[in-house]
Amino acid sequence: MRKFKQVDVFTTIPYHGNPVAVVMDGDDLSTEEMQRFARWTNLSETTFLLRPTVPFAGHPTIGTCHAWLEAGGIPNSDGFVIQECEAGLITLRNDDGLAFAAPPLVKSGEVDDADLDDVCAVLG
């Protein structure tokens, strides 16, 4: 049985805000097992605490941090939690609620011809 928490993000009132399911230990779950668990929760967002592989998303970032803190997680610095995702390190401020600044959206690498044509058409 996995420990998980449902967090209502952006509110202090239960069953308001944006719900997210947070699985506390997901490192050894297969993709199929994660998908089954996410379907079971019937929520639009489910996160798994594991080594950094999750791309950045706002309310799952806050909900995951909140669940980790409530489960007894202890930040290395007072008032701040550093969370790692594919976008890099996200600093969450923890004073009277959680807050963060969104990371810069950086994309590098090759652009396929169809995408380049679409962008050029939109920009004129």
Catalytic residue among 33, 45, 84, 110: 45
Q: 54: which residues sit within 8 A by CB, 6+ positions away?
A: 47, 48, 60, 85, 86
Task: Please answer whether residues 82 and 89 qualify as being in contact, where contact means their C-beta atoms are separated by less than 8 angstroms.
Answer: yes
70 is catalytic: no
Question: Which residues are marked as active site?
Answer: 45
